Amino acid sequence: MAFNSLEYFLFLPLIWLIHHFLGQRFRWLFLLIASYLFYASLKVPYLLGVIAIITLATYGFGHWIHQAKSAEKKQRLLWGGIATNVLILIIMKYIPFLTDNLNALLSFFKSPISLHHAPLFVAIGVSYYIFQAISYLSDIYLEIEEPESHFGYFALYLAFFPKLLQGPIERAGGLLPQLKQKYEFNYNDMRFGLLLFTWGLFKKVVLADRLGLYVDAVYGDVHSYQGLPLILATYGYAFQIYFDFSGYTDMALGTARLFNINLTNNFNRPYLATSIADFWRRWHISFSRWILDYIFKPLQMQWRNGGNWGTAAALLVTFIVSGIWHGANWGFVTWGLLHGLYLACSVFYKPYQKKIHKALHLQKTKVLKAWQIFITFHLVTFAWMFFRVHEFSMLNYLFNNMYFPLNRLVNVNYVENSIIINHDFANFYSLFICLTVYMLFSIFDLLNNVEKFKLPYRWSYYYLLLFIIIIFSKTADHGFIYYEF
Amino acid sequence: MNIVKSLTEIFCEVFDDDEIELAPEMTADDIDGWDSLSHVNLIVTIETRFKIKFTQKELLTFKNVGDLMKSIESKI
Amino acid sequence: MVLFIMSSKYLKTYKCIALFLFILFFLDKGVAYFIVRFSDANINDTRIEKIINGKLDSALIVLGSSRAARNVNAATIEEYSGISSFNLGRPGSNLDYHRFLLKSYFKFCKNPKYVLLVVDPSIIKQDSSLSFRYDLIYQLANNNYIKEFLIEREKINVFYSQMSDTYLMKNSFLETFKPHKLILGENPLYTVGPDGSMNLLPRRANRELEYSNDQKNYTIDDESEELRNIFFDFIALCKSNNNNLVFVLTPEYGVPMLGLMERLEVLTRGGVTVLDYRNIKKMNNSCYYNDGIHLNSIGAKELSKLIAADIKKMSLNILDLH
């Protein structure tokens, strides 16, 4: 069930109540069952099998690695465990993509052989807990963590429902101790958890979904538009994906908070990043730290004698993998490759860049910072186009028609038709009002500061948020973007 | 051969900062500019200077300067 | 366990939550009330409201899109035929919407003797300019009949609509909140006359309207099966209710589309009277038209006189098809 669904609004309080009155002894078991039920509500039975297999295999490999005496054996077991996880991931997500591309290749060489088109499996959540499993095994191998002996807690570490479907990707060292801690009702946790959840809901069902209405209308019928609407839709998508994913993350963190669990923060004002490297320290933080620790750093060390080229290569590989993880199509791979290129290039030009800034006396100035934010945002938004649009023909049309029409801006009709698509004034006004509200609430960081207010003001804020959600949310249902990964 | 002295020299060189003073508890966050690039440069310089080789596993498990120093000691 | 629940450790929390929900309940009602007041002040088309309150009792109703709303003047029909008439046409509405109005009228108002459906050439095709006008009925979401309908069409969630009055009326607010109207004023194109008609003022422009010699042909391939079924349903409804269903093809300043009449004949198996005014000599005057397919108020009056005459003949059982 999605976090913004009626079922979840009924599921969560019920689970919380039972959990609250249950003893410490059965807490893990109840949460585990609840998590599996949550996963089962997707109505895809084989997914339960997948997570069960991953849990068993990873639990086993974890102990074997720890118990192995020789370094060689440890390494072999590590690779065995990783290979098992990766194999299952490939089967779930990439078989159709691989067979289709292989077929394309075969037909290119006019080979009589061709493979059957494989069915696409639903794989919600799989990418996330498999990455958790791999991090768990690696941490045991590096002797950063000890294997978890309690199978129940380990299973819960992988399946904990707030983070099951779209992350964050939790490290064993972070989540396991919290799961084992004795639960004590904390009024502040409950209050903040609910508030965070509501804030995430606002971002998702009001901002992300309404931006989505605009973006889908334009991108869904690109050839009818030129210039301004295409630009607005592209910027719109950058914000849509941010609100969608960070909204989900807030709901996940808020839910977990109700159970006294602090999950890792996944976002930190990503569009205020001053460089692509900085962007990746602010966007999907748990994922980017994962690829940093488990792909980039090992590769970079492996190729350290290649100097800058070694690092650049490591960056490219890491981000291509990131692209592939996001999805089995060339759009995602291109997106990943683009970020890899951005970072690889910066390895070479960064020293020169520093010299130029120094020479122009721009170092640490606000002007420089604004410029860097501006450039970074546009690089990222450009890359998002490949994330959203997978057809080459459509991308081609976009690049040819996405100009800023200075001469047409005097035409009021043109501007109006660019901003208001399909006569959807309701959407325009809703977005205008709600984006303004969002900016005000963020600038004053009300999420964290509201607890300092007196009760009437605090409650006014809560009621305001609730009514904004009720009134301005979209009517029809809109799935989460990051579900598909 | 004083490891700490040589190591400090290397740090100052790699990070272009003459005032670094090493302490065992120091981590990556303590030294300005010790991001992924400098970390690699640091390791390569140390390996060349001390004529040693770190294993992949070691490199990924150094938590602070103290671990680094211990590892260098064990290899000379 | 009950003792556990009643433990004073949680009493403060319970009281807090209870008070919060209590205030929320009243706020919800209050906000919903203001939305209703706000929307009422901004509605200019009260015809549906009149229907579901049973306030209409005309013997002849006109249904259709802009061709009905603009080209027909119900008051003139009434004057020249002696049959009380009302125009329920609305620009931009599709057959699904016309059927909805028909059903609602049958349910709440006196059974009309004549149902005139003005037929667009794209009546059973997917036409992006025609749609079901939910935006016109959201204002009435607090009416049970409309609420059930919206739930059935999955425009509102049944559970949420029971929990929150504000939720029920949110679409009404979203549709009526149009600040640009404050600057630009009410659009005169959308005022509704007392007879329901939405006729257009004649154009002042000196530009002469050109007669269109563009010959179009009716194509069957782009018909929508869903709309076709609604079409049959519409006819069946009138039959079961013993109304006289009449199709009207309003005048066009151009060559009429070939094949449309034949298609209607096939679809209705000849069981529905069709009044075809598309190429009538009397209406072949450019001063009656605002554009190729829409008459102005003068033209609407003239057309309505013709319609009235034909309806009168029908009522005297003298059928005279053109």
| Secondary element (H or E) of residue C27 | helix C11-42
Across the strands, what pairs with A159? none
Q: State the Cα–Cα distance between residues C317 and C70, nearest whole angstrom.
A: 29
| Closest alpha carbon within chain A to C2 | A21
DSSP string, A262-323: -PPP--S-GGG-SSHHHHTTTSSHHHHHHHIIIIIHHHHHHTGGGHHHHHHHHHHHHHHHHH
Across the strands, what pairs with C207? none
Contact present, A189 and A260 (Cβ < 8 Å): yes
| Residues of A known to be catalytic | 326
**pLDDT, position A67:** 92
- Asked if the Cβ–Cβ distance from A426 to C177 is below 8 Å, we say yes
Across the interface, of A6, A187, A429, the residue whose CB is closest to C157 is: A6
Residue A438, both tokens: 């969002």
Q: What is the pTM of this model?
A: 0.88
Q: How many angstroms separate the Cα of A288 from the Cα of each of A86, A158, A266?
A: 18, 19, 9
Does C8 score more than 80 pLDDT?
no
Contact present, C235 and C271 (Cβ < 8 Å): yes
- Asked if the Cβ–Cβ distance from A347 to B59 is below 8 Å, we say no
Q: Do chains A and B touch (3 or more CB pairs under 8 A)?
A: yes
| Closest alpha carbon within chain A to C176 | A426
- Asked if the Cβ–Cβ distance from B44 to A311 is below 8 Å, we say no
3-state secondary structure of A417: helix
Q: pLDDT by residue (tens digit) across A88-124? A: 998 888 888 888 888 888 888 877 777 777 677 788 8
Across the interface, of C31, C167, C178, the residue whose CB is closest to A425 is: C178
ipTM of the complex: 0.85
Q: Does any CB of chain A come closer than 8 Å to the CB of residue C3?
A: no
- Asked if the Cβ–Cβ distance from A466 to C157 is below 8 Å, we say no
**What is the residue-averaged pLDDT of chain A?**
90
Does A479 score more than 50 pLDDT?
no
3-state secondary structure of C284: coil
Q: State the Cα–Cα distance between residues A417 and A406, nearest whole angstrom.
A: 15
Residue A33, both tokens: 């069952």
Q: State the Cα–Cα distance between residues C133 and C101, nearest whole angstrom.
A: 11
| A105-109, C178-182, C295-299, range with greatest mean pLDDT | C295-299
Q: pLDDT by residue (tens digit) across B33-56? A: 555 677 788 888 888 888 888 888
- A402: closest CA among A422, A421, A381? A381
**pLDDT, position A477:** 41
Contact present, A301 and A203 (Cβ < 8 Å): no
- A40: closest CA among A164, A176, A170? A164
Q: State the Cα–Cα distance between residues A399 and A358, nearest whole angstrom.
A: 35
- What is the pLDDT averaged over residues A42-54? 92
Residue A444, both tokens: 């004053």
Here the contacts of C141-150 (C-beta below 8 Å, separation 24 or greater) are C141/C168, C141/C169, C141/C171, C141/C172, C142/C32, C142/C36, C142/C168, C142/C169, C143/C52, C145/C52, C145/C104, C145/C107, C145/C108, C146/C52, C149/C100
Compute the residue count for chain A.
485
Q: How many angstroms separate the Cα of A450 from the Cα of each of A191, A196, A203, A269, A436?
A: 11, 12, 18, 19, 18
Q: CA quadruple A105, A110, A111, A112: dihedral positive or negative?
A: positive
**pLDDT, position C318:** 54
| Closest alpha carbon within chain A to B54 | A301
